[in-house]
Structure formats: C-alpha cells, structure tokens
A and B are shown apart, each in its own frame.
Chain A
Amino acid sequence: MWLPLLGLIVGIFLGLLTDIRIPEEYSNYLSIAVLAALDTLFGGIRAHMQNIYDEKVFVSGFFFNILLAASLAFLGVHLGVDLYLAAVFAFGVRLFQNIAVIRRILLTKWSTNKNKN
C-alpha cells in the first residue's frame, strides 16, 4: 500500500533534482503528457471503484496516452495547427468526467454507509 506513495515521492524528488534543460518549445509536450498521465490515473481510480479495473489496460493506457499526447502536440507544432488544444480538451473533459464519477461513487458509498449505521 505504501509502495505507490513511496514511488510518487521518489518521482517528485527526482523531478525536482534533475536539472535537464529542455528547449522552450518542448514544454508544451511535457504539460500535455502530464495531463494525459493525470487523466489515465483518474481513469484507473474510477475503474477500480467500478470494479472494472484492468491492470494491463491501465498501464498500457498510461504510457500510450502520454506518448500519444506528446506526439499529437509535436505534430500540431510541425503542422502549424494547435493540435495540443485538442488533447487538452479531450483529456480535460475526461478528467472532469472521471473525477465526477469518482465523486458520485464516493457519495453513494458514504450515504449507504450512513444509512447502515
């Protein structure tokens, strides 16, 4: 149970300590990738709560979404179309939906528990 948390902390530390300089135009890709990762994470949490959680789907979705978002942004930059907006939009909407689902599940759980008590 503590292992994922430990991993998160270690990851944050590594990210703060690394002093890699990346060009400014690639910062967009990074933010898209972060968004994709968050989306996948919340998707996984929601799936877990709805008991349809599949590890393979989650892990593959996590990395694949990151890569896809980054490449989409890359393509957008090179085509002169702001395709990363599409990624932001899609991931943002899904993020909100996922969080909303999680909230509702939590609420129902909480209310059923209250009723039981």
Chain B
Amino acid sequence: MRMIKVKGKHVILSLVCLVLGFMIAFSYHFTQKEINQKNTNLTSKQWEKTIDLRNQLIELEELNRKLQKELNQKQDKVLENEKDLSKEAEAFVTLAEDAEKYRMFLGKVKVKGQGVMVQLSDGAYDPKEDNINNYLVHEYHVFKVINELYISGAAAIAINGQRLTSHSYIICNGPVITVDGIQHPAPFVITAIGEPEVLASALNLTGGVKDQLVNDNIVFSLEKKSEIILNPILGQS
C-alpha cells in the first residue's frame, strides 16, 4: 500500500518534471532558433527595403536592356543611312562627273585640251575668175571641215572662238556666215579639241577636205596646238 502510494507520488512528480523539462527545452530551442533567425535573416523592414531596391534594380536593368536594344537598332539604322549616303555620294560623284562631261559637250563650261586650229581664208583675187563666189569661203566649206572634224572625234569645236553645240546652225549670209545668229567674217578660224594627229591626218587626207577646199581656191592652213581653250557659250540656257 505504501509502495503504491509512493509510486503514485513519484509518477505525478515525474509527470510534472516531464512537463517542466519539455517546456524548458522547448523554450530554449525556440529562443535559440529565433536568435539564429535574427542573425541570418533580416528584419521585415530591411527585407522589404531589400526587395524594393532589388525590384528597382531589376526595373532599371530591364529599362537599360530595352534602351540598349533601341540604341543598337538606332545604330544599325544610322549605319544603313550612312551606307545609303555613301552610295548616294558615289552616285552623285559619277553624276557630277557625267554632268561635267555633258556640260563640256554642250558648251556650258570652258574646255581645255590639245587639238587643231584650221584657218579658212578667202582666196586671193583672180582676174580670170568672173564669179567672186568661186574664191570665197562658203558655209558648206565650213560644214565640210566641221563634219570632218566631228567624224574624226573632235570633242568640241568653235568657229572664231564661238562654240558649236549640238543644235547650232550655220547659214551663209553673203560675205559673212552666221553661226547661231552671230555673224562671222572671213577668215574663219575653226578650233577643235581632240587628238591632233588624228584630226590633222583626217583633214589632210588625199582627196579629202583640204584638197577639196584648195580646189575651191580657199587658203587652208592647219596648225596643231598643244593647248586650246574654248570658252563656254554664254547667255543661253
């Protein structure tokens, strides 16, 4: 009886001790964990701040990436534009060269080069000849010379310093010939820019222009020139 009583007492005591031990241990364990948490983790405020900053950083990085992409695209565009521009510039250069060339052909600018100079003078008075026309330089003589020169590859021709164009006209007007509405008296100096040897030999061809002109009593003189300057036609569009 006494043993049982003692045992019951001890059982109750051990139960109390169990609860106490459990509580102490649990509390200790819990506090320890809390301390660890505090050491390792941040407080909620810091946490929030960190998250906020991190979000901001992410946002900024995204923005940066977007802007970088935009920049790349823009740079590509600029590169393309530059390429286009360079192409255009090349085209312009060739166009400018062409325009210069065409202007030269049209007589809009001064041209310079080697060539020949042909002088056609009226023949000396011959009392045997009745017709004065037989020893005058006519427009068809000039035509012949000019045509021959053009055929032989003259780049530009001028009569008495007046440039001929693709739509020039020459008419006989009695003692003078009219070139594009401007009268020119004899002697006629025809200057042509081109290969001097070629032009000269073309004119000097046997039975060619020179012989025909000489037959018509025209004083024909041919001179090779190393430099001829032809002035542009002014006052015309």
Do A and B associate with each other? yes
| Chain A residues proximal to chain B, CB less than 8 Å | 1, 3-16, 18, 20, 22, 24, 27, 30-31, 33-34, 37-38, 41, 55, 58-59, 62-63, 66
Number of A-B contacts (CB under 8 A): 92
**A3-B11, A15-B23 provided; 20 other pairs, C-beta below 8 A?**
A4-B14, A4-B16, A5-B17, A6-B14, A7-B14, A7-B17, A8-B17, A10-B18, A11-B22, A15-B22, A15-B26, A15-B29, A18-B26, A20-B26, A27-B31, A37-B23, A37-B24, A41-B16, A55-B9, A55-B12
Residue B15 lies at the interface, judged by CB distance under 8 Å to chain A = yes
Q: Are B22 and A1 in contact (CB under 8 A)?
A: no
Q: Contact between A30 and B23 (Cβ–Cβ < 8 Å)?
A: yes
Taking chain A's interface residues, is the majority helix, strand, or loop, or is none over half, making it mixed? helix
Bound-complex Cα distance A34 to B21 (A): 9
Main secondary structure of the interface of B (DSSP, over half): helix
Identify the B interface with A (CB < 8 A): 9-31, 34
Report A53 CB to chain B, min CB distance, Å.
10
Give the CA-CA distance A76 to B31 in the complex, in Å.
21
Q: Hey, which chain A residues are within 8 Å of B19, CB to CB?
A: 11, 37, 62-63
Partner of B13, one of A3, A9, A38: A3
Q: Which of A8, A18, A27 gathers most chain B CB within 10 Å? A: A8
B21 near A12: Cβ-Cβ < 8 Å: yes
Q: A1-B10, A24-B34 are in contact. Are A59 and B16 (CB under 8 A)?
A: yes
B13/A4 in contact, CB under 8 A: yes
- Distance in angstroms between the alpha carbons of A13 and B22 in the assembled complex: 7
Could you say which residues of chain B place their CB within 8 Å of the CB of A22?
30
Q: Which of B9, B13, B15, B25 contacts A16 (CB 8 A)?
A: B25
Query: Which of A5, A15, A30 has most B Cβ within 10 Å?
Result: A15
Asked if A11 contacts B20 (CB within 8 A), the reply is: yes
Contacts of B17 in A (CB 8 A): 4-5, 7-8, 11
